[in-house]
Chains A and B, each alone.
Chain A
Amino acid sequence: EVQLVESGGGLVQPGGSLRLSCAASGFTFNNYWMSWVRQAPGKGLEWVANIKEDAGEKYYVDSVKGRFTISRDNAKNSLYLQMNSLRAEDTAVYYCARNEGPVAALSYWGQGTLVTVSS
Chain B
Amino acid sequence: SYELTQPPSVSVSPGQTARITCSGDKLGGKYVCWYQQKPGQSPVLVIYKDSKRPSGIPERFSGSNSGNTATLTISGTQAMDEADYYCQAWDSGTAVFGGGTKLTVL
A103 touches B33 (CB 8 A): no
Q: Does A71 contact B (CB under 8 A)?
A: no
Which chain B residues lie closer than 8 Å to A111 at the CB level? 42
Which chain B residues lie closer than 8 Å to A45 at the CB level? 35, 37, 43, 86, 88, 97, 100
B43 touches A47 (CB 8 A): no
Q: Which of A37, A46, A95, A106 contacts B45 (CB 8 A)?
A: A106
Which chain B residues lie closer than 8 Å to A47 at the CB level? 88, 94-97
A105 touches B93 (CB 8 A): no
Number of A interface residues in the complex (CB < 8 A): 24
Q: Which of B31, B90, B97 contacts A46 (CB 8 A)?
A: B97
> Known contacts A45-B35, A106-B88; is A50 also within 8 Å of B95 by CB?
yes
Q: Does A59 contact B (CB under 8 A)?
A: yes
> Can you list 5 A-B contacts (CB < 8 A)?
A47-B95, A47-B96, A47-B97, A57-B93, A104-B31
Binary interface encoding of chain A residues 90-119 relative to chain B, with 1 for a CB under 8 A from any of its CBs, else 0:
000001000010111111011110000000
Binary interface encoding of chain B residues 87-103 relative to chain A, with 1 for a CB under 8 A from any of its CBs, else 0:
01010011111111000
Q: Which residues of B contact A (CB under 8 A)?
A: 1, 31, 33, 35, 37, 42-45, 48-49, 54, 84, 86, 88, 90, 93-100
> Known contacts A35-B95, A105-B49; is A62 also within 8 Å of B43 by CB?
no
A110–B37 CA distance with the chains assembled, in angstroms? 13
Nearest first, the 4 closest Cβ-Cβ pairs linking A and B are: A47-B95, A105-B48, A103-B90, A44-B100
A109 touches B42 (CB 8 A): yes
B100 touches A109 (CB 8 A): no
